Protein backbone atom coordinates (compact mmCIF):
# COMPACT_ATOMS: atom_id res chain seq x y z
CA UNK A 1 0.00 0.00 0.00
CA UNK A 2 1.16 3.56 -0.65
CA UNK A 3 0.08 7.03 0.29
CA UNK A 4 1.49 10.38 -0.86
CA UNK A 5 3.34 12.60 1.60
CA UNK A 6 4.11 16.28 1.20
CA UNK A 7 7.38 17.19 2.92
CA UNK A 8 9.85 20.09 3.13
CA UNK A 9 13.55 19.78 2.36
CA UNK A 10 16.24 21.66 4.29
CA UNK A 11 16.16 24.47 1.69
CA UNK A 12 12.46 25.08 2.50
CA UNK A 13 11.06 23.64 -0.73
CA UNK A 14 8.10 21.25 -0.66
CA UNK A 15 7.83 17.99 -2.57
CA UNK A 16 5.68 14.89 -2.87
CA UNK A 17 6.93 11.38 -2.25
CA UNK A 18 5.10 8.08 -1.94
CA UNK A 19 5.31 6.22 1.37
CA UNK A 20 5.23 2.42 1.13
CA UNK A 21 3.39 0.65 3.94
CA UNK A 22 3.79 -3.08 4.51
CA UNK A 23 0.43 -4.64 5.29
CA UNK A 24 0.24 -7.73 7.43
CA UNK A 25 -2.76 -10.09 7.37
CA UNK A 26 -4.61 -10.07 10.69
CA UNK A 27 -7.67 -12.13 11.58
CA UNK A 28 -10.22 -9.81 13.17
CA UNK A 29 -13.26 -12.08 13.23
CA UNK A 30 -13.46 -15.87 13.41
CA UNK A 31 -14.48 -17.39 10.09
CA UNK A 32 -13.75 -14.19 8.13
CA UNK A 33 -10.77 -13.54 5.87
CA UNK A 34 -7.75 -11.72 7.28
CA UNK A 35 -7.52 -7.98 6.68
CA UNK A 36 -4.37 -6.00 5.88
CA UNK A 37 -3.07 -3.79 8.66
CA UNK A 38 -0.06 -1.51 8.70
CA UNK A 39 2.21 -0.60 11.60
CA UNK A 40 0.87 1.75 14.30
CA UNK A 41 1.24 5.47 13.71
CA UNK A 42 1.75 7.33 17.01
CA UNK A 43 -0.69 10.18 17.54
CA UNK A 44 -1.58 12.37 20.47
CA UNK A 45 -4.96 13.39 19.07
CA UNK A 46 -7.12 13.23 15.97
CA UNK A 47 -8.94 16.18 14.44
CA UNK A 48 -11.79 16.29 11.95
CA UNK A 49 -11.64 19.16 9.47
CA UNK A 50 -14.19 20.16 6.86
CA UNK A 51 -13.11 22.25 3.88
CA UNK A 52 -16.02 23.72 1.93
CA UNK A 53 -16.16 23.69 -1.87
CA UNK A 54 -15.15 27.38 -2.00
CA UNK A 55 -12.04 26.92 0.23
CA UNK A 56 -8.75 27.94 -1.37
CA UNK A 57 -5.28 28.44 0.09
CA UNK A 58 -2.20 30.31 -1.02
CA UNK A 59 1.36 29.12 -0.26
CA UNK A 60 1.63 28.06 3.36
CA UNK A 61 3.25 25.39 5.53
CA UNK A 62 0.85 23.00 7.21
CA UNK A 63 0.11 24.25 10.74
CA UNK A 64 0.58 20.70 12.06
CA UNK A 65 1.10 17.19 10.73
CA UNK A 66 -2.15 15.92 9.20
CA UNK A 67 -3.39 12.80 7.52
CA UNK A 68 -6.02 14.08 5.13
CA UNK A 69 -8.79 11.86 3.77
CA UNK A 70 -10.98 13.17 0.98
CA UNK A 71 -14.58 12.07 1.53
CA UNK A 72 -16.34 13.97 -1.26
CA UNK A 73 -15.23 16.35 -3.98
CA UNK A 74 -11.60 16.86 -4.89
CA UNK A 75 -8.63 18.85 -3.61
CA UNK A 76 -5.61 19.76 -5.71
CA UNK A 77 -2.29 20.43 -3.94
CA UNK A 78 0.78 21.92 -5.62
CA UNK A 79 4.26 21.80 -4.08
CA UNK A 80 6.95 24.44 -4.64
CA UNK A 81 8.68 22.22 -7.22
CA UNK A 82 5.53 22.57 -9.37
CA UNK A 83 4.16 19.05 -8.92
CA UNK A 84 0.38 19.01 -8.52
CA UNK A 85 -1.65 16.03 -7.34
CA UNK A 86 -5.40 15.70 -6.98
CA UNK A 87 -7.12 13.81 -4.19
CA UNK A 88 -10.65 12.54 -4.73
CA UNK A 89 -13.08 10.50 -2.62
CA UNK A 90 -11.35 7.73 -0.69
CA UNK A 91 -7.83 9.15 -1.14
CA UNK A 92 -5.48 9.78 1.77
CA UNK A 93 -2.28 11.83 1.96
CA UNK A 94 0.05 13.01 4.71
CA UNK A 95 0.90 16.69 5.19
CA UNK A 96 4.37 16.61 6.74
CA UNK A 97 5.66 20.01 5.57
CA UNK A 98 5.31 22.05 8.76
CA UNK A 99 8.45 24.02 7.87
CA UNK A 100 9.43 25.79 4.67
CA UNK A 101 7.37 27.33 1.87
CA UNK A 102 4.90 24.44 1.69
CA UNK A 103 2.00 24.19 -0.73
CA UNK A 104 -1.03 25.75 -2.25
CA UNK A 105 -4.38 23.97 -2.32
CA UNK A 106 -7.76 24.40 -3.92
Which DSSP string corresponds to the chain? -EEEEEEE-TTS-EEEEEEE---EEE--STTS--EEE------S--------TT--EEEE--SS-EEEE--SS-EEEEETTS-EEEE-TT-EEEEE--SSS-EEE-
For the chain, the domains span 1-20+57-106
Q: Is the pLDDT of residue 10 over 70?
A: yes
Q: Is the pLDDT of residue 30 over 90?
A: yes
Q: Average pLDDT in the 7-30 region? A: 93
pLDDT 10s digits, 41-52: 888 888 888 888
pLDDT 10s digits, 48-106: 888 888 888 888 888 888 888 989 999 888 998 999 999 999 999 998 888 877 666 77
Amino acid sequence: MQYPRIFATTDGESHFDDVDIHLEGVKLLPGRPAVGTGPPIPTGAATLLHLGADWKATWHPTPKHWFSVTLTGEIACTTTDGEMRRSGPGNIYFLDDATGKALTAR
